[in-house]
């Protein structure tokens, strides 16, 4: 949800890009008959400060990294779906009473304009009206700054990539989960490198999200500091904990990290429940943090709710050349890029 240019709806294949502060992830998907097939996936590290808080700060380094993805993936498609990070956008739901004879689109835009903290002329707006009862609607809307969207379009045009859609990541994730698991009230915890994002959805899509400025970089820095090793060496030990004194130190670092993280997740829980008077029925963990040893058991014990591992399951297939041993890793770190790549096939 934001901008779908609608020029390539009949295409069989798309690229999906996940822009993070730590890395770029690119997936390619195509449709054959009723089957959705993942044709490839690639990830590359970004130099520090290339992307900050979802905004590209160094375009040349970004382009160099993206070109390396293309070189590695060798995709058949050059048509891209890309997501905007939740906190570079604004989305919500608002009620709308509509009187017959009014211009519906203008009535919606006027209501959104009174609600968002931006000049309506400086943003792109997308919305979906849901009829609740006669002449009463709920408007699900999202906005993004024109400057950011236009900059993305210009950047990709420089490297001969055609943008099919610019989406908000939380909507892409929500739609993908609904496609795979059905509609439900759920919490999706995306534990990234610099931040963690909690996404609360109901049967109509994303309701609320909250950013936690706490991610795997905390673990990495502390491993390096406590063991007096480089960040590169710390990264090798991060998810493969040795059975010695170093391992004991790393486990202590993870324990502190998870204690602090669960406190913030519980704060998100409480905000959500106090605002919407409902609770999630299930929890999923995605992102690099889904690789933390024991994270699912820990969260289940603390949240007192079923915490599940994400799986692409039976509704997504893979090309015959795709390395099947890589799929469990893809279930953790590839969710957003795949959600973007398949968006046209699950709408």
In terms of domains, do 286 and 152 share one?
A: no
What confidence score (pLDDT) does residue 311 get? 94
In terms of domains, do 292 and 276 share one?
A: yes
Q: Per residue in 281-302, pLDDT tens?
A: 999 999 999 999 899 999 999 9
Q: Per residue in 92-122, pLDDT tens?
A: 999 888 766 678 888 899 999 988 888 889 9
Sheet-wide strand order for 79-84 = 3-4, 162-168, 79-84, 13-19, 23-32, 35-45, 316-318
Question: 307 Cβ partners below 8 Å, 6+ apart?
Answer: 282, 283, 284, 285, 296, 299, 300
Contact indicator for 285, 295 with CB cutoff of 8 Å: yes
Q: Specify the number of domains making up the chain.
A: 3
Whether the predicted pLDDT of 158 surpasses 70: yes
| Residue 46 falls inside a structural domain | yes
| Residue 270 falls inside a structural domain | yes
What confidence score (pLDDT) does residue 11 get? 60
- Residue 301: Cβ within 10 Å count: 11
Whether the predicted pLDDT of 9 surpasses 80: no
Arithmetic mean of pLDDT over the chain? 91
pTM of the model: 0.93
The domain that contains 117 carries what CATH number? 3.30.1490.300
In terms of domains, do 314 and 171 share one?
A: yes
In terms of domains, do 42 and 169 share one?
A: yes
The domain that contains 334 carries what CATH number? 3.30.420.40
In terms of domains, do 83 and 20 share one?
A: yes
In terms of domains, do 283 and 261 share one?
A: yes
Pairing of strands 79-84, 162-168: parallel
Full domain range(s) for residue 45: 3-88+145-181+310-346
In terms of domains, do 34 and 168 share one?
A: yes
Reported as type and span, the H/E element at residue 295 is helix 295-303
In terms of domains, do 235 and 302 share one?
A: yes
């Amino acid at each position: 949800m934001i901008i779908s240019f609608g020029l390539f709806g009949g295409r069989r294949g798309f690229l999906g890009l996940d822009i993070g502060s730590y890395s770029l992830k690119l997936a390619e998907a195509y449709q054959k008959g009723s089957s959705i097939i993942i044709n490839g996936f690639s990830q590359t590290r970004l130099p520090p400060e290339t992307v900050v808080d979802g905004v590209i700060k160094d375009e040349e380094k970004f382009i160099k990294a993206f070109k390396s993805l293309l070189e590695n993936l060798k995709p058949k498609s050059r048509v891209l779906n890309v997501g905007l990070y939740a906190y570079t956008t604004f989305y919500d739901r608002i009620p709308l009473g509509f009187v017959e004879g009014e211009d519906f689109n203008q009535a919606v835009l006027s209501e959104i304009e009174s609600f968002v903290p931006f000049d309506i002329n400086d943003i792109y707006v997308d919305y979906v009206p849901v009829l609740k009862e006669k002449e009463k609607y709920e408007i699900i809307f999202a906005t993004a700054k024109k400057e950011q969207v236009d900059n993305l379009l210009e950047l990709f045009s420089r490297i001969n990539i055609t943008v099919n859609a610019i989406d908000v990541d939380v909507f892409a994730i929500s739609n993908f989960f609904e496609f795979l698991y059905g509609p439900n009230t759920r919490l999706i915890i995306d534990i990234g490198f610099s931040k963690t994002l909690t996404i609360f959805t109901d049967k109509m899509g994303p309701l609320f999200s909250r950013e936690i400025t706490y991610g795997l970089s905390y673990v990495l820095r502390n491993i390096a500091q406590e063991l007096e090793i480089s960040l590169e060496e710390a990264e090798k030990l991060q998810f493969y904990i040795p059975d010695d004194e170093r391992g004991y130190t790393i486990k202590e670092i993870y324990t502190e990290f998870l204690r602090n993280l669960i406190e913030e997740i519980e704060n998100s829980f409480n905000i959500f429940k106090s605002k919407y008077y409902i609770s999630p029925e299930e929890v999923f963990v995605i992102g690099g943090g889904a690789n933390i040893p024991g994270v699912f058991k820990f969260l289940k014990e603390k949240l007192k709710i079923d915490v599940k591992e994400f799986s692409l399951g039976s509704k997504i297939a893979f090309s015959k050349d795709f390395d099947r041993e890589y799929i469990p890793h893809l279930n953790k770190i590839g969710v957003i890029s795949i959600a973007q790549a398949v968006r046209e096939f699950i709408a």
